[in-house]
Amino acid sequence: MELKGKTAIVTGSNSGIGLGIARELAKAGADVVLNSFTDNDEDHALAREIAAEHGVEARYIKADLSKGDEARALIEKAGRCDILVNNAGIQHVAAIEKFPTEKWDAIIAINLTSAFHTTAAALPMMREAGWGRIVNVASAHGLTASPYKSAYVAAKHGIVGLSKTVALETAREPITCNAVCPGYVLTPLVESQIPDTMKEYDMDRDEVIEKVLLARQPSKDFVTVEQLGGTCVFLCTDAAAQITGTAISVDGGWTAL
């Protein structure tokens, strides 16, 4: 339980990648704060479940990360932040000349600007505690591009750049900041898209996974949320104390091409 006594805030963590990361951090002993923009019984039940399973403290705090003041308030309400995982994100796909301005603004706000606000609020707490870890969930699209994803690609490239800047500003302190860049992850959202994609391409499930979803992922295997969580846990350990300002690919070889 190497992270016992640490508090981890994971944004966008009531499902998918964020929830998987939160579970792995709790498994390693960290108290966790879950977050999303909803405030349902199910959200708070997830926190209770994690607390009971791993013997840690776990809470759920609502915050709409498209709003800077709410992003900062999330950190303040948590009261402590030793580990910050900026994971919240949304996506929209369209040609750039048809890309809705409101979608661009929302993606930049949630996928990039929110990390600026949470980091700015968390750093004073980390400095006071004398220790801190910031892990920004970027994407393979933080290192390379795909068509029709202009806002997402721009935001994820920005997250990688923000991680490098924060790392340099904290380089003489016991605080690190890194970006994790996953390829395709089999989340419930991706899983739900498979049946429609099978119909669209007239393929079976295995063909859709290999030839469509994982077309650019050489391993032809999905990244798991547990693998991403394990990478985040490693970055919080003493073994990773000199790893800062990096973009770590967890993408089955995608960005090696």
Closest C-alpha among 126, 129, 88, 3 to residue 54: 3
Measuring CA to CA, which residue among 66, 71, 145 is closest to residue 108?
Answer: 66
Give one DSSP letter per residue of 11-63, joined into a string: SS-SSHHHHHHHHHHHHTT-EEEEEES---HHHHHHHHHHHHHHTS-EEEEE-
Of 60, 148, 152, 201, which is the active-site residue? 152
CB neighbours of residue 130 within 10 Å = 10
- Tell me how far apart the alpha carbons of residues 6 and 165 are, in angstroms, rounded to a whole number: 24
Task: Name the residue among 90, 102, 69 with its Cα closest to residue 137.
Answer: 90
- Told to judge if 152 belongs to the known catalytic residues of this protein, a careful annotator would answer yes
CA dist., res. 158 & res. 171, Å (int): 20
- Nearest-angstrom CA–CA distance, 240 and 150: 33
Active site residues: 152
